[in-house]
A and B are shown apart, each in its own frame.
Chain A
Amino acid sequence: LAKTTQPISMDSYEGQEVNITCSHNNIATNDYITWYQQFPSQGPRFIIQGYKTKVTNEVASLFIPADRKSSTLSLPRVSLSDTAVYYCLVGDTLQIYNQGGKLIFGQGTELSVKP
């Protein structure tokens, strides 16, 4: 799994768009980028996964530039309930599958949304 770097914490206000950037300079050709969300005292939850350009679902968007050395998770119009830790993971899904599927989490970004 490629090493990732994220900001330790971010603050935002309700209604704002929040962008959390993850650096992964050593990303390999077969690596995918995945984001998980964890609320306090709960297990993480899969948010979104992408390989290049832009991916959007009902929760978030993921922007990946052409060099893929970074990615940005975008949360539109956050609310208080988006206060959580967001983890960026980068890895080769096939390799992960062959090695049993284990995930290694980095430090994550603690997002605090204020009223």
Chain B
Amino acid sequence: GAVVSQHPSRVICKSGTSVKIECRSLDFQATTMFWYRQFPKKSLMLMATSNEGSKATYEQGVEKDKFLINHASLTLSTLTVTSAHPEDSSFYICSARDQRAGFSYEQYFGPGTRLTVT
């Protein structure tokens, strides 16, 4: 089946620093990828839609200058949390649609990245 990887799986950083998270589709091409964040015992919250070769589309309330998204190729999207603060500590998950999937509902999710800001 289709596989999506994320790197790193967990990261600890100091307040004020920036952290980059990579999301890769390993065996398929993804024109579109999605970034979610999830707090403990909560559901996934969609942050933004990452489009290959164009600007990301952010959901309402998500600071685009704080969460920089780059989708440079059909298999890689990156999320950079800039000037991280403790309240940015969360579980970040990416997902991707196989561009051959047509109208299929199915998305493939990465294993997630646990970010802890101290």
Residues of B within 8 A of A (CB-CB), count: 28
Task: Digitize A74-115: 1 where CB-to-B-CB distance is under 8 Å, 0 elsewhere.
Answer: 000000000000010101011011001111111110000000
Interface residues of A (CB under 8 A from B): 32, 34, 38, 41-46, 49, 87, 89, 91, 93-94, 96-97, 100-108
Question: Within the complex, what minimum Cβ distance (angstroms) separates B58 from chain A?
Answer: 11
Q: Which residues of B contact A100 (CB under 8 A)?
A: 32, 49, 51, 57
Partner of A44, one of B32, B44, B57, B104: B44
Are A41 and B91 in contact, with the CB atoms below 8 A?
yes
Say yes or no for B61: interface residue by CB 8 A criterion: no
The B contact surface, by secondary structure, is strand
Q: What residue in chain B is nearest A97 (Cβ atoms)? A: B103
Interface residues of B (CB under 8 A from A): 4, 32, 34, 36, 43-46, 49, 51, 57, 91, 93-95, 97, 102-112, 114
Are B34 and A43 in contact, with the CB atoms below 8 A?
no
A–B complex contacts, Cβ < 8 Å, 15 sampled = A38-B44, A41-B112, A41-B114, A43-B93, A43-B95, A46-B106, A49-B105, A91-B105, A101-B97, A102-B34, A102-B46, A103-B46, A103-B107, A104-B46, A105-B46
Question: Within the complex, what minimum Cβ distance (angstroms) separates B11 from chain A?
Answer: 14
